[in-house]
Amino acid sequence: VQLQASGGGLVHPGGSLRLSCTAPGFKLEYYAIGWFRQAPGKEREGVACLSSNVGYRIFGDSVQGRFTISRDYDTNTVYLQMNSLKPEDTAVYYCARRLRVKGALCSNFDDKEYEYWGQGTLVTVSS
């Protein structure tokens, strides 16, 4: 089982992009879902996480106030809306499911506590 991230592309600085995370085979609403990114030569970084049920969210410091995360129950999709994009947002973006044993609430971006990483989608912010 893998989560599928899509929606990446080339965008100018200051622009917006919406990424989608889908999960063939299970309902995303029952799990906390996290978005991460990895830029060339850098470690993977937590971007946003949406908890199951109560909708509690956490964001990485570098995207706070610019990115939002939401869920569409009908399409079984978790979205990452990225606004005011900067060149330093350029990275491959991944979504992953928080381990069931860690609970339904997002509490951190320790990637060892997430599973079912997909292939990712490339976001390039450049003029």
pLDDT in tens, 23-81: 988 889 899 999 999 999 999 999 999 999 777 999 999 999 999 999 999 999 999 99
Burial class from Cβ neighbours inside 10 Å (0-12, 13-18, 19+) for residue 99 reads middle
Question: Could you tell me if 46 and 34 are in contact, meaning their C-beta atoms sit under 8 angstroms apart?
Answer: yes
Over range 87-103, report the average pLDDT. 94
Which SS3 state, helix, strand or coil, does residue 117 take? coil
